[in-house]
Amino acid sequence: MARMIDTHCHLDMLEDPASALGELGLTQLVSIGASVQHAHNAIALAEGHPEVFASVGLHPTDVKDSDSPETRAELEALSLHPRVVAIGESGLDDYWAHDQLGVQREAFLWQLDLGRRRDLPVIVHTRDAPGGERASQGCAEIIKEANWTRGILHCCNGHAGLLRAALDLGWSVSFAGNLTYKNAHAIQEAARFVPMDRLLVETDAPFLAPVPRRGKPNRPGYVRYTLQFLAALRGLSEQEAEAITDANARAVYRLPLT
Ligand SMILES: [Zn+2]
């Protein structure tokens, strides 16, 4: 099997991180470190495994309890580590933390600025309240305001205005396991629309397992199921879709060729 990259997973949250590497032809992955503790975990995994790279940042659902000058100083220092390839995940979450959008916005703007200062892409998480679009609209406004040109719309939710804002900035758009879900019409529509050279696939493991593993703990190797679904949507062979998304992943994170 050819190379395969999972552009977004939480490797340290799996029960058996080391055995997840290499499954189903996986060759490289980015482990997200969206708190001080997770950032340390992700960097430790990256130091121990040549195929693992790390991000560092502050997740929007953690901002209220953990954002502080000390937290920011530590994450800024960790972001200088040579195995850190991105900032985040950051963004707005109106589902789990709907009363905290103000503090989330501040932390998001700080991380966009950190991405610019480090010349790293910023990974953006967006989750709306049921039936709402406040987080999506807010994220669109914030990334336009920050105007940083390296970024990834992670776990694309299909919101047209946010997608437009990200593409206009030159960002990449990443599709997770929920692309494969039966009622994911808006996400599937977005996956048909995104230019070929901006398409990424990810697992967000251990969350959001794709069909046919839906409901089970997700694993980085399952990115292949999402890739197969995306290939069918775009009328590509699996090999073509894999070559395209892997080249895009290496470009956005500036990963070395293996
Ligand atoms: Zn994530």
Percent of the chain at pLDDT exceeding 90: 90
Least confident of 20-34, 66-80, 168-182: 20-34
123 phi and psi, to 5 degrees? Answer: -95, 125
Residue 132 has pLDDT above 70, yes or no: yes
| Mean local confidence (pLDDT), 81-107 | 95
Q: What are 70-91's pLDDT values in tens digits? A: 999 999 999 999 999 999 999 9
DSSP state of 131: T
Ligand 1 center to 33 CA (angstroms):
9
Residue 23 has pLDDT above 90, yes or no: no
Q: Looking at residue 24, what is its pLDDT?
A: 78
Q: Looking at residue 1, what is its pLDDT?
A: 47
Q: Looking at residue 2, what is its pLDDT?
A: 55
Residue 190 has pLDDT above 60, yes or no: yes
Ligand 1 center to 205 CA (angstroms):
8
| Mean local confidence (pLDDT), 86-115 | 96
Domain spans of the chain, in order of start: 5-253
Ligand 1 center to 59 CA (angstroms):
8
Strands 172-175 and 199-201, bridge-based pairing: parallel
Ligand 1 center to 207 CA (angstroms):
8
Ligand 1 center to 232 CA (angstroms):
25
Ligand 1 center to 12 CA (angstroms):
12
Ligand 1 center to 83 CA (angstroms):
18
Whole-number Å distance between alpha carbons of 128 and 8: 20
Q: Looking at residue 170, what is its pLDDT?
A: 98
Ligand 1 center to 9 CA (angstroms):
6
- State pTM to two decimals: 0.96
Q: Looking at residue 4, what is its pLDDT?
A: 87
Tell me the two tokens of residue 195: 């230019």
Mean pLDDT of all residues belonging to the chain: 95
Ligand 1 center to 93 CA (angstroms):
12
Whole-number Å distance between alpha carbons of 143 and 82: 26
Q: What are 143-155's pLDDT values in tens digits? A: 999 999 999 999 9
Do the Cβ atoms of 212 and 181 come closer than 8 Å?
no
Ligand 1 center to 178 CA (angstroms):
13
Ligand 1 center to 154 CA (angstroms):
8
Ligand 1 center to 89 CA (angstroms):
7
- CATH number belonging to domain 5-253: 3.20.20.140
Ligand 1 center to 125 CA (angstroms):
7
Residue 258 has pLDDT above 80, yes or no: no
User: Which residues are paired to 153 by β-bridges?
Assistant: 124, 173
Ligand 1 center to 204 CA (angstroms):
5
